[in-house]
Amino acid sequence: MWQRYPARKWLYDVVTIVKDCFFIALILFVASRSDSMVFTGLRWLFTGLIVLVTLAKITTWLTFRYQLDGDRIHLKRGLFTKQEQTIPRSRIQNIQRSTSFTHRVTGLTSLLLEVADGAEAEVKFDALTREQADRIERFVQGEQAAAPVVRDVLFTPTTSELIKASFTSLSFLLIIPLGLKVWQFTDDWRIEITWLQHTWVIALLVIVGIILAVGAGIAKIFFTYWGYTIDADAERIYIRRGVINETRFTVEKQRIQAIEYKQSLLKRMLGLVSITLITTGDATISEGATIRELYPYLPTAKAQALVGDLLPQYALAPPTKRLPKHALIVRLLRPSYMFVALLIALWYWQPTYWYAAFGWLVLLTIVRLLDFYATRYEVATMFQMQTGALEVSRLVYARAKIIEVEIKQSFWQRRFGLASIHMTGRGAPVRHATLRDVTWDEAQAFVAWYYARTEDVRRS
């Protein structure tokens, strides 16, 4: 039976249009009293766009249909250009459910189905009732959803961890540029505020500003991660985050291609780490963060235990094998085209300060030293690679998930008997990783290890 979006989607569309256009309408029709031709034209253009957007929303509601049939989802859409799409259930990789504030107000939710391969990488249902979304999720999960599934809650952050995360995020530092901007504004416009001439008043304002900034940072983290949970059963991992804007993500464990640990300099100092699940699809949430990122302020020991519960095969000790010492010489000898370009530019435009280009060279040398001492790797049941200078990243790939390996040698690498391993792994988008300056023998051993993956691929 063909189904359409619920009638409440009209209310959702109206609320969305009002929310998105409110401030523009306020500026054009209320704040601005000008009757000039420019503002009159902008008002008519804005009104026309609102009408077009409204018609597009109505057309979508009238023309969009979907049907759950057997083991396939059928979709129909389009007014003048009819589109029909059939998606086998087996090709649906992951499910993401998002409930924004607007969805909550109208009692709806949205659903995103990530599809493997093909031109249509995802199918999005903009506004569904919770019953419709539950029905589609059960359909995608197949027969396993018919029986009750026991989920284990593996992680939810404590209040103390949320407070610690709010300081780690450094969002409270935004008060500094904001305060400087206000100060510059009063100075530029010669605004004299006599009571700001007292030192104790300025100190009090700074303290109040810091308290407000810290409070805003804590509130932001709590709104984002309060109630954050990571559940799992035998087949899937379930991630839920957000208070006002709630997002839920479901991924099959067998779809996970690799995991990545990341630690910034501050997180290394505080013993925290973030873990990202690399899967097919590319679902993101607000501010560019990926929903596949597990709680990004995990204590290192707890992160290792969590990976052991979710994906025991990926719960490995950090790699210990270092690069050979002469690899550092190769790294320092590697030319920097940025340094050459900067030197030429300064010599041409500011010849008096030509030596400033060497500041970049010093900084680059420090980064290369840090990266050399941080680089580790391990080739066993899994391939592990740790690289980075200020931010250290550790990538863990199963051999069966690596689809291509290439060995390259530069001029200096050939002279010192070194090579670089370029690896391409599964994922969407496809992941590329490079381990530079290993010995030639290690590179050849890695290729032999990779060629022995036949049995791993058959099992996966």
Q: Quote the tokens at residue 16.
A: 């969305």
Q: Is the pLDDT confidence value at 195 over 70? A: no
Contacts of 265 (CB under 8 A, 6+ apart): 390, 391
> Is pLDDT of 237 > 70?
yes
What integer pLDDT is reported at residue 170 of this predicted model? 64
284 pLDDT above the threshold of 50: no
3-state DSSP call for residue 156? coil
Report the distance separating Cα 454 and Cα 357, nearest Å. Answer: 51
What average pLDDT does range 380-399 have in this prediction? 91
- Cβ contact 98:285 at 8 Å: yes
pLDDT at 396: 93
Instruction: Tell me the CB-side half-sphere exposure of residue 67, using CA atoms within 13 A.
Output: 10
d(CA 213, CA 216): 5
Q: What is the pLDDT of residue 171?
A: 60
Residue 372 has pLDDT above 50, yes or no: yes
| Backbone torsions φ then ψ of 20, nearest 5 degrees | -75, -30
Question: Which phi and psi (to 5°) does residue 122 adopt?
Answer: -155, 155
pLDDT tens-place string over residues 300-356: 888 989 999 999 988 888 899 999 999 999 999 988 888 888 888 988 888 888 888
- Residue 293's CB is within 10 A of a number of other CB atoms, namely 17
CA distance 421 to 406: 6
Of 99-108, 140-149, 157-166, 366-375, the poorest mean pLDDT is in 140-149
Phi and psi, residue 320, nearest 5°? -120, -15
Residues 142/235, Cβ–Cβ less than 8 Å = no
- Output the pLDDT for position 281: 54
Q: What would the pLDDT profile of 156-189 be if each residue is shown by its tens digit?
A: 888 888 888 887 766 656 666 666 666 665 555 4
Please determine, for residue 282, whether its predicted confidence score (pLDDT) is greater than 70: no
Residue among 134, 213, 132 at smallest CA distance from 176: 213
∠ CA 177-178-182, rounded to 5°: 115
Segment 202-221 mean pLDDT: 79
Give the pLDDT of residue 2.
87
Q: Is the peptide bond before 429 cis (omega within 30 degrees of 0)?
A: yes
* 3-class SS of residue 345: helix
Query: What pLDDT does 455 receive?
Result: 65
Window from 126-135, 249-258, 278-287 with minimum mean pLDDT: 278-287
Higher pLDDT, 437 or 101: 437
DSSP, collapsed to helix, strand or coil, labels residue 150 as coil
Q: What is the mean pLDDT of the chain?
A: 83
Task: Identify which has the larger pLDDT, 258 or 36.
Answer: 258
Report whether 371 contacts 387 (CB < 8 A). Answer: yes
Model confidence, pTM: 0.74
Q: How far is residue 113's CA from residue 115's CA, in Å, rounded to a whole number?
A: 6
Residue 460 has a pLDDT of 59
Average pLDDT over residues 6-19: 90
Amino acid sitting at position 423: M
Helix (H) or strand (E) holding 344: helix 337-349
Q: Which residues have CB under 8 Å from 57's CB, separation 6+?
A: 10, 13, 17
CA 44, CA 95: separation in Å to the nearest integer? 41
CA distances from 274 to 162, 163, 263, 266, 391 (A): 14, 16, 7, 12, 11
Lowest mean pLDDT among 181-185, 212-216, 280-284, 404-408: 280-284
Cβ(382)–Cβ(313) below 8 Å? yes
Q: Is the pLDDT of residue 230 over 80?
A: yes
Max Cα-Cα span within the chain? 79
Window from 47-56, 120-129, 205-214, 261-270 with minimum mean pLDDT: 205-214
Q: Are 94 and 279 in contact (CB under 8 A)?
A: yes
Reported confidence tier of residue 144, pLDDT bands at 50, 70, 90: low
CA 448 to each of CA 7, 224, 460: distance values in angstroms, whole numbers, following the listed order: 60, 46, 20
Q: Is the pLDDT of residue 365 over 90?
A: yes
Rounded to an integer, what distance in angstroms lies between the CA atom of residue 72 and that of residue 140?
Answer: 9
Q: Does residue 76 contact residue 60 with C-beta atoms inside 8 Å?
A: no
